[in-house]
Chains A and B, each alone.
Chain A
Amino acid sequence: MAEVVFPSTLTVQLNAYGQRLQEEAQVAADKATSFLHERVVAKARMNPEWSSLADSIEVWSQDGKLVVGVRDEEFRSQAFAIEYGDEVRPPTPLFRTLTQDVRDASAVFDDHMTSVFGPERLTGNE
């Protein structure tokens, strides 16, 4: 029967690495969130329909997902009418046209992790 023995130092190192990974992932997520928020607010400010609501746009975490939108009850129905339009106004989509912005935010996350842990690489043993 084969027996695999790990040195205790390896376990300590692994735990430390996992801890650092978690901490840096949180920092990266915060950076990505801020980036996305700034990008969406900037877009809203440039749009005449959305400009008055730009400061009400928030990014928050809900059920493990990142949500970008207007949380303030006072402005929510107004934002809904702008986003989807009504019989008077055509739709002016903001939150449904963020595909590239979300990708860019994801790149911000990746850049941070790469700057801390180095680029992904393949070696013969992986």
Chain B
Amino acid sequence: MSDIALNPDVYPLQAEPDLVEHLGFILAEEEALKKRFTGIKVPSRPGYQGMTDVGVWFRYPEGERQLAYPFITIDLLTVEPDYELFTSTFMQDPTDLYQPSFSPTLPPLPPGARGYAVREYLPMRLVWQVSTFCRSALHDRYLTSIFMTDVLPYRPFFIDSVDGVARRTDRIGFQAADTLETTESGTKRIFRKIYTISMLTEVPQNSFADADGYSRYLALRVLIPVVEQAKFDHYFQTILAGHVDPIDEFTAEEREAAGEYFHIAHEGRLTPPAL
């Protein structure tokens, strides 16, 4: 047991990885990926019934390990945010399922509150390199064939993660990279094919957006002006560009003088969270 106290800036963890069950961000996805490749077999020889197991390794097997061809390796290349899918918060219906899986329950709503503003998951993409290594051309072509049709098909597909979520996965690259392996008995031809795949996942968020822990009514302040097209540029530059709140900053007469001849406005009112 370490004498060093847990760092309070870090702990408790938002979603602690479970090394036994392979749960948690990245672990669950990678475990699912390994399961996808585990149990693949190739015919030992053409015309024979016997099948040869295809091993699966994370990274290339270490030098002291006996290599048994064919085998598959998995390398995690990158974990990158998918900014195009990012959103800030969403309104959680208090009667509906609370989505972040690590906390299935919601605290009771305070009086007057209409729901919870919940931080949205952070969509991320995990990118892996999956390589197949074979010593015979037949095994290589067999594996390439079933990878194209069934294991990593061209169309986006879903892999059931061990945390119970189906993860969208895309094959984003294929590269033939045949190589040689030099051993004590000489040089061997190694047939290597490389697939680059991307899996969509997310970092869960366990805190509510509001500091007080519950939602506030979202007040609206909207101005929809109707402006003649010929005057639009002038109106845009005078009234809209650089002005956060034209309703407050300009009178209706000033807006009309700039080209507006009709508008629809909605005035909202901020409501304290506790009310």
A→B interface (CB under 8 Å): 80, 84-87, 90-91, 93, 96-97, 99-100, 103, 121, 123-125
In the complex, which of the residues A86, A93, A123, A124 contacts B77, with contact meaning CB atoms closer than 8 Å? A93
Chain A residues near B129: list those with CB within 8 A.
84-85, 91, 93
The chain A residue with its CB closest to the CB of B125 is A99
Q: Are A96 and B77 in contact (CB under 8 A)?
A: yes
Q: A84-B194, A124-B229 in contact; A91/B77 too (CB < 8 A)? A: yes
Q: How far is the CB of B236 from chain A (nearest CB, A)?
A: 8
Q: Are A123 and B196 in contact (CB under 8 A)?
A: no
Per DSSP, chain A at the interface is: loop
Q: Are A90 and B59 in contact (CB under 8 A)?
A: yes
Q: A84-B129, A85-B60, A90-B60 in contact; A97/B77 too (CB < 8 A)? A: yes
Q: Are B194 and A125 in contact (CB under 8 A)?
A: no
Q: Are B181 and A100 in contact (CB under 8 A)?
A: no
- B175 contacts chain A at the CB level, 8 A cutoff: yes
Chain A residues near B177: list those with CB within 8 A.
80, 84
Q: How far is the CB of B127 from chain A (nearest CB, A)?
A: 7
Q: How far is the CB of A18 from chain B (nearest CB, A)?
A: 21
Q: How far is the CB of B176 from chain A (nearest CB, A)?
A: 10
Give the docked Cα–Cα distance between A123 and B232 (Å): 9
Chain A residues near B175: list those with CB within 8 A.
84
Chain A residues near B84: list those with CB within 8 A.
103
- B202 contacts chain A at the CB level, 8 A cutoff: no
Chain B residues near A123: list those with CB within 8 A.
229, 232
Chain B residues near A96: list those with CB within 8 A.
77, 127, 172-173, 196
Q: Are B229 and A86 in contact (CB under 8 A)?
A: no
**Residue of A96, A97, A100, A123 contacting most chain B CB atoms (<10 Å):** A96
The chain A residue with its CB closest to the CB of B78 is A97
Q: Are A100 and B83 in contact (CB under 8 A)?
A: yes
